[in-house]
Amino acid sequence: MNDLPTLPDPVAPNASASAAESAPSAPKPPSEPGLFETLQQPRILLGGVVVLAVLLAAQTWSTHNRMGKLRQEMALRLQKGDSSNAETGNLARAVQESSRELQIKVGLLESKQLEAQSQQLALEQLYQDLSKNRDEWALTEIEQVLSTASQQLQLAGNVPGALIALQNADRSLSRSDKPQFITIRRAIAKDTDKLKALPSVDSVGVALRLDNVIAQIDTLPMLSDEKPTLPAPPEKKVKAKPVLDKHGKPVPAAEPSEPHPWLLALQNTWTGWSTEMWTDVRQLIRVRSVETPDALMLSPTQAYFLRENLKLRLLNARMALLSRNEAAFRADLIAAQEALVKYFDTRAKNTQTVQALLRQVQTSNLAIEMPTLSDSLNAVRNYKAKP
């Protein structure tokens, strides 16, 4: 604001008097100039008032203009604020909608996560159950195989079958690769070593010999046969060795005199006819030494049943061999040998071959104490009994 002019203060009479007293004495001015100054003071005061009014009007106009501008600026700013508020509201609504959508999606994801967790837990439980069931099934199968192998080992002495069963059980346990099965595998290895330490018995070879004997029973000649076996043909004359002299040279033999051709033909005819007649005579009359005369009186039907009974004896011996029943095995072989000696022609080559096979079979030793697979079976059953 503009500075207002300062008016002269009215001079107090006392002050003027004191000033007059303090001032040096001067010549007094004339009385007319003092009156003129008194008349001009209101004019100066009026001019100051006019100037002050002008200044106030200018200040009011300037303030009014500034206020208008401020109002316009405020209106513009308010408009901008309203628009920004509207935009902010739209953004806030959009953010709220997106947050709602996100919350819905998060809820769905949480529900899916919970479902996935529950499925994972169910799968883990199912896997554990399956692994337990798989182990139980494997152990149950191994127990059945070992039990069957143990029964065959005790009843039939099937050592190779028991070894195969133990090896298969150890192989199936090695696939799982679990340390809990070490005890079972150790017991299986122990039983395997026991079976491998047993003396070997060629049961298959003995059974094959018995089968060979059974196949030859129908071809064996019996004492009661109508056609006995022909005698062996006469042996051919061996050519004489040449005689050597002192120097090692062969001495020429004296050449026999050749007979007449018709004499040689006659001699050959006589030799053939006499040999044939002698053979027929020998077939008509034959002397045999038989300890049991009843063997010569067997009818063809009885001979057939005798052969079948002998086959049954040998089959029983074969069954006793497979079942490791040494007493029955040897009793059947002795009965078969007695039947061969009593009812069959022991001079025939086939009968002698069968007797030799039976003697070889009889030398087989079946009195072997078979071990049991109790260690392996107990190990499997103890593992299954654990909670």
Give residue-wise pLDDT tens across range 205-222.
888 888 999 999 988 888
- Tell me the residue range of the domain where 210 lies: 201-227+295-369
Mean pLDDT of 108-132: 80
Q: Which of 300, 318, 299 is nearest to 361 (CA)?
A: 318
Helices (H) and strands (E) in the chain, counts: 10, 0
47/282: higher pLDDT: 47
Q: Are residues 189 and 323 in the same domain?
A: no
Q: What's the pLDDT at 232?
A: 46
Gyration radius (Cα) of the chain, Å? 73
Cα dihedral 188/194/197/200 (nearest 10)? -90
Q: Can you tell me the distance from the alpha carbon of 282 to that of 258, in angstroms, rounded to the nearest whole number?
A: 34
Residue 160 and residue 205 in one domain: no
**Same domain flag for 178 and 299:** no
Whether 312 has a pLDDT exceeding 90, the answer reads: yes
Is the pLDDT confidence value at 237 over 60? no
Q: Tell me if 322 is assigned to some domain.
A: yes
Are the CB atoms for 165 and 131 separated by under 8 Å? no
Lowest mean pLDDT among 21-30, 89-98, 303-312, 368-377: 21-30
312 within a domain of the structure (yes/no):
yes
- CA 161 to chain CA centroid, nearest Å: 24
Instruction: Give domain status of residue 87, yes or no.
Output: no
pLDDT, tens digit, for every residue of 53-85? Answer: 899 988 899 898 888 888 888 888 888 888 888
Inform me whether the pLDDT recorded for 304 exceeds 60.
yes
In this prediction, residue 88 carries a pLDDT of 86
Average pLDDT rounded to a whole number, residues 363-387: 77
**Distant-in-sequence, close-in-space partners of 380: CB < 8 Å, separation ≥ 6:** 139, 142, 143, 146, 184
Contact between 321 and 329 under an 8 Å Cβ cutoff? The reply is yes
Q: Which residue type is seen at 62?
A: S
- 226's enclosing H/E stretch is none
Number of structural domains the chain divides into? 2
CB 212 within 8 A of CB 356: no
Q: What is the mean pLDDT of the chain?
A: 76
Q: Can you give the three-state secondary structure of 66-97, one letter per residue? A: HHHHHHHHHHHHHHHHHHHHHHHHHHHHHHHH
Q: Are 308 and 174 part of one and the same domain?
A: no
Average pLDDT over residues 109-116: 88
Q: Which residues contact 190 (CB under 8 A, 6 or more apart)?
A: 375, 376
Residues 185 and 301 in one domain: no
Same domain, 148 and 212: no
Q: 38 to each of 17, 35, 44, 51, 282, how far by Cα in Å? A: 18, 5, 11, 21, 214
Residue 155, number of CB atoms within 10 A of its CB: 13
Q: What is the pLDDT of residue 384?
A: 76
Q: What is the rounded distance in angstroms from the CA atom of residue 352 to the CA atom of residue 340?
A: 10
Domain co-membership, 163 together with 221? no
What is the pLDDT, as a whole number, of residue 139?
Answer: 80
Instruction: Using the predicted structure, report yes or no on whether residue 323 has a pLDDT greater than 80.
Output: no
Confidence tier at 277 by pLDDT (50, 70, 90): confident
Whole-prediction pTM value? Answer: 0.42
pLDDT at 310: 92
Residues 141-199 pLDDT 10s = 888 888 888 887 777 667 788 888 888 888 888 877 677 788 888 888 888 888 887 77
Instruction: Give the other-Cβ count within 10 Å of 208's Cβ.
Output: 13
- Can you say whether the dihedral through the CA atoms of 216, 221, 225, 226 is positive or negative? positive
Residues 304 and 175 in one domain: no
* DSSP at 346: T
